[in-house]
Amino acid sequence: MSRRKKVVPRKLPKPDASQAAKVVIRKLPTGVRGLDEIMGGGIPEFSFNIIAGGPGCGKTTLAHQIVFANANHQNPALYFTIVGEPVIKMLRYQQQYSFFDPAKLNKSVRFIDLSQVMREKNFDGVLEKIASEVEKASPSVVVVDSFHNVSRARSGAGEIEIQFFVQRLAQFLTSWKATTFLIGEYAVEDTRDNPVLTVADGLIWLLQTAERNSVVRKLQIVKLRGQASVPGLHTFRISDDGLQAFSRTLGLTAKSGKPSARRRLSMGIPDLDRMLGGGIFRGDSVLVAGPSGSGKSVLATQFIAEGIRKGEPGIVAIFEERPRGYGARAGSFGLDLETPQQNEQLGILYLRPLDLSVDETMQEILDAVKKIGAKRLVIDSLAGFEMALAPGFRADFRESLYRMMGALTAAGVTVLSTVEVEESFVELPFSHYAISFLTDDIIRLRYVEIDGQLRKIVVVVKMRGSNHSKDIREYVITKDGFVVILPRKTEYHGLITGIPEKIGLRETQKHEAPPEAKFVK
C-alpha cells in the first residue's frame, strides 16, 4: 500500500489591504541640482510630462539635462524635434553646458528631426515615425520638442485631433516603458481647459519675468501624479552647468528639531554673556540691531572667533565689505581669522552684490555651512543682504529668511544677524524689517548723549526661554574689541531715547583722552 501523503491545498492568505503590495514607482534623477527635492525625489518612471513655458526660459536646456543625466548604453534616450529649433543649432548651443556629453551622441542619446514628416504626413506620420524609432531603440527617456508648436503650425487641426494624438502618444510610450517629456511654448491662457495638459502626469512650468533691471526665473511643479512635490514657485538660475533650482524649503525640511539639552554659548564678551544670563542658547537666532558705527560687526566677529576657539566652526556671510578687509579689521582687535580659514574652521562668504536671488544666496550659505560643519553663522548684515538681491526678489526676502533661519537653527546652528537701524530719539526700534519675530534673542546697541559725549549703550531686549539682565550698560570699542565698561547707570533717566536726563548728582567730569583707533587699514 502506497503511503501517499495527503496533499492539503494551501490556503492563500487573505490580502491585507494595509499591506497590499503597491506598485513601486522608481524616480529618475533630473540632473538639475535642487529639482529632485522639489519634485519629491525625482521624475516618476514611465510618466508622461510636459515642460511648458515661454520662449527662452530654459525648457530645452532642462530637457537636455534630464536626457544626459539618464541616458546610457542600456537606457538610451531619443530626442525628437518637430517644429522649432533645428537640431544642429541645438547641438551648437547645448554643448556649451557642462552636462553635455558628446560621447553619448548617436549612441545613448539620439536626436531625430521630424519636421519634414510633420509637414508631409501630419500627426499620423509623426506618431508612426516616433513609434518606429522607439521600437528600434527601446528608449528609457523620450523628448518631443517643441510640441505645442505642432498644434500652432497645424492651425487647421482641431482640439480633438491634437488631444487624440497626445493620448495615442502617451499610451504608446507608456507601454514601451519610456519616461516622456513634451516641450511646449505655452502661455498661461493656454492652460485653461487644455486637454493636452489634462493627459500629462506631470507639468513643469518655467517662468521668466523681467523686473526693473533684472530677470527673475522661477519654476513650478503644477502637477505631478503619484508623489508629493514641494508646492509653490521656486527660483532657478541658468549657468554654465545648466539649470539649478532652489527649493523654497532649501532642502532642510526633514532636519531634526532644536537640541533638547540647551547649551549656552559664549559671545566672546564676558560681560555681555552675563547680561544674556550666561550666553546665548545653541540653535538660537540672535539679532544685533544698532546704528552705523555702533560695533555690530565687531560683536559678530567676536562671536565667531569665540566659536572657533571653542572648536565650533563658523561661517560669516558678508555683503558690504570684502573678506580681506573684514579679516584685517578683526586682526586689529587681535582676532586671527586667517588661520581658521586655512584650517577650514571658518568660511567668509562675500556674496557679490546685485542680481542675486534670495534662495540662491541662501543655498550658498547653506552649502558653506554644510561644507565645514559650521555651528555658528553670522549674517552681516541683513540690510546688505537685501541690497545684494535683484529687485524682483526683495519681496521674498523676509519669507525666505524665515525659512532659512528656521532650517538652520533647527539643525543646531546658532545664527547671529546684524541689522542697521536708523537712530531715533523718540523710540527704540529693533529693525525696519519687522523681523524680530524671526529671532530668539535681540541685542540692541545705541548712541546716547551723556555729559557732552556721544556714548554707546547696550541692552538685551529679548531672550526667548530665559531670563536676562534688564540693565542698560555702556560699552566701548577698544583694541580688545567690544568691551562693556560700566555697570548700569542709575543717575540718568530716558537712556533709551538717546537723550537722557540727569537725575542724580552731577560729578565733575575728568579729562578724557581722544578715543582709541578702532581699525587701521
26, 56, 95, 509: which one binds other proteins (CB under 8 A): 95
Is the CB of 117 or the CB of 389 nearer to other proteins?
117
Phi/psi-derived region of residue 410, left when phi > 0, alpha when psi is between -120 and 50, beta in every other case: alpha
Binding mask 440-479 for other proteins (x = CB under 8 A): ----------------------------------------
CB-based contacts of 226: which residues, under 8 Å, 6+ apart?
Answer: 25, 44, 47, 201
Site stretch for other proteins (CB under 8 A), options 102-110, 335-343, 411-419, 481-489: 102-110
Q: Applying CB under 8 A, does 98 fall inside the site for other proteins?
A: no
One of 7, 20, 21, 103 touching other proteins (CB under 8 A): 103
The C-alpha cell 565650533 sits at: 312
> Quick check: 89 binds other proteins (CB under 8 A)?
yes
Asked if residue 159 lies in contact with residue 194, where contact means CB atoms within 8 angstroms, the answer is: no
Tell me how many residues contact other proteins (CB under 8 A): 20
Q: Given the complex with other proteins, which of 82 and 435 has the nearer CB atom?
A: 82
Could you tell me which of 261, 270, 279, 277 has the C-alpha nearest to residue 467?
277
Identify which of 417, 421, 316, 419 has the alpha carbon closest to the alpha carbon of residue 374. Answer: 316
Which H, E and C letters describe 225-237, residue by residue?
CCCCCCCCEEEEE
Residues 114-153 close enough to bind other proteins by CB under 8 A: 114-116
SS3 309: helix
> Binding segment for other proteins among 101-109, 199-207, 332-340, 404-412 (CB under 8 A)?
101-109
CA proximity to 360, closest of 234, 233, 209: 234
Q: Minimum distance between the CB of residue 85 and other proteins, rounded to whole angstroms?
A: 11
Of 56-85, binders to other proteins (CB under 8 A) are 81
Work out how close the CB of 324 gets to other proteins at its nearest, in angstroms, rounded to a whole number: 40
In single-letter form, the type of residue at position 109 comes to V
Asked if 240 interacts with other proteins (CB under 8 A), we say no
Please, what is the minimum distance in Å from the beta carbon of residue 74 to other proteins? Answer: 18
Among 56, 98, 105, 502, binds other proteins (CB under 8 A): 105
Q: State the amino acid at position 41 in one-letter form.
A: G
Span of 36-44, 109-117, 409-417, 507-515 interacting with other proteins by CB under 8 A: 109-117
Query: What SS3 class is residue 308?
Result: helix
User: In the complex, what is the shortest distance from the CB of residue 184 to other proteins, in angstroms, rounded to a whole number?
Assistant: 20
> Which CB atom, from 94 or from 301, has the smaller least distance to other proteins?
94
Of 46, 48, 99, 111, the residue at the interface with other proteins (CB under 8 A) is 111
Q: Which stretch binds other proteins (CB under 8 A): 110-118, 387-395, 418-426, 490-498?
A: 110-118
* DSSP line for 112-149: EE-HHHHHHHHHHHHHHHHHHHHHHH--SEEEEETHHH
Pick from 41, 75, 97, 112: which binds other proteins (CB under 8 A)?
112
Please say which residue, 89 or 225, places its beta carbon nearer to other proteins. Answer: 89
| Smallest separation (angstroms) from other proteins to the CB of 60 | 15
Distance CA 29, CA 27 (A): 7
Helix, strand and coil in the chain, % to nearest 5: 30, 25, 40
Q: How far is CA 153 from CA 146, 148, 475, 496, in A?
A: 11, 9, 74, 71
Four-point Cα dihedral 317, 319, 324, 326, nearest 10: -70
Rule CB under 8 A: which residues touch other proteins?
Answer: 81, 86-89, 91-92, 95, 102-103, 105-107, 110-116
